[in-house]
Amino acid sequence: MHVDEHLEELERLADTAGAAVVGRTIQRIEAPTPNFYIGQGKVESLKEEMASAGATLMLFDESLTPVQGVKLEKSLGFRVMDRTEVILDIFATRARSHEAKLQVELAQLEYLLPRLTRMWTHLSRIRGGIGLRGPGETQLETDRRVIRHKISTLRKRLKAVAEHRANQRQGRRDLPTAALVGYTNAGKSSLLKALSGHDVFIEDRLFATVDTLAREVDVGEGYRYRLTDTVGFIRKLPHHLVASFRATLEEAEDADLLLHVIDASHPGWEEQVDVVEKETTSIAPKRVIHVFNKADLLPDPEAFLALVRERYPHAVLTRATHGSVEDLRRALRTSAQALRPIAEIRVPVSDGKLLATLHRDAEILEQHQTNGVVTLRARIEARLLGRLRQQGVEVVLG
């Protein structure tokens, strides 16, 4: 992305957070200065520019250290927020589920801890007092201890939530699963709505949704998927957020298939793809389908598809807001067929338990019985197939 596109993205973040942008500026520096990040002269000119524009808040596209934040606010006389803080603020207002709220609170506290001196300077003076704190302990130290305890508690609660989700996933193996991942505002929620037909919250803003949402989707010819929408990624996504949303990303890690949704109309889509791939390196399953959305905004969709298929042979184009997702539905159907191959399974008629399992978890196409052996021709999940072979059950593919 070009520097103007970076500032454009920051402006969209500001809009999502509820701020109105009145101006923008850049400074090219060889290396950030330890005191202000930018140069001293730039700080002075910014002070004048903000006063004349009537601005009350300065947003930085880079991450500021606690020291830089303190010194900038003192010099400017205005509130200063870096990119990380803006994103955390958006997540805090967009989180709806109990789990998302826990995750955002954890990320906020981890961001806040090293910045307490700046945030709560008025509390840092010594306050003695029997029964209040240890002798000579400052309010700042008390606050730090309280926050560390809160962080520890939140981590335990999130771990319990993650274990509960893992148990839920184990009990939902009847359908193949696909996880939607992608850069924020690429159209994941629109795709989920177009495929499932269910109402899903959609807004043309960055991070319109931060909660995980799962829907069952019919992809035709008797195949169904459980599709999970995950949190969107963004350039310089705060590492606190990535860490605290790890439980959500496990949905993608456990999925049979990853649908990487890309905004085909964005001029910087290749960099956006790199951002997502970097964050999902450890969680990508064996099969990824690259879904180029917003194809209706392209001047020549067919030429674009031919170009991207040189890099992504299985890429598909979609127009989710127009409900045009048939190519994706077809690709999902093909993947479902690969994930649930057809096999011939021979089971003794006396093994009622195994027969019941197969009728519950596999799609029985044919069945007949000869000499006390039931022969089933079924479309069966690859995982279950492997388990049957381990148990010594006679299985023939095809």
- List phi, psi (to 5°) of 85: -65, -35
Q: Averaged over 342-369, what is the pLDDT? A: 87
Amino acid at 211: D
Q: Is the pLDDT of residue 148 over 70?
A: yes
% of residues, the chain, pLDDT over 70: 84
Q: Is the pLDDT of residue 332 over 70?
A: yes
Amino acid at 63: S
Which domains, from first to last, does the chain contain?
A: 3-89 (3.40.50.11060), 96-169 (no CATH), 174-338 (3.40.50.300), 340-397 (3.30.70.240)
pLDDT: which is higher, 251 or 120: 251
* Closest to 181 measured CA to CA, from 248, 237, 236: 248
CA 255 to chain centre: 14
Phi-psi region of 111 (alpha: psi -120 to 50; beta: other; left: phi over 0): alpha
SS3 of residue 366 by DSSP: strand
* Closest to 60 measured CA to CA, from 39, 84, 43: 84
Order the strands of the 373-379 sheet from edge to edge: 363-370, 373-379, 342-348, 394-397
Phi-psi region of 206 (alpha: psi -120 to 50; beta: other; left: phi over 0): beta
Amino acid at 174: D
% of residues, the chain, pLDDT over 90: 16
* Closest to 60 measured CA to CA, from 45, 75, 79, 44: 79
* Closest to 187 measured CA to CA, from 244, 269, 249: 269
* 24-33 pLDDT, tens digit each: 888 888 888 9
Residue-level pLDDT at 244: 65
Is residue 207 within 8 A of residue 16, CB to CB? The reply is yes
Q: Is the pLDDT of residue 279 over 90?
A: no
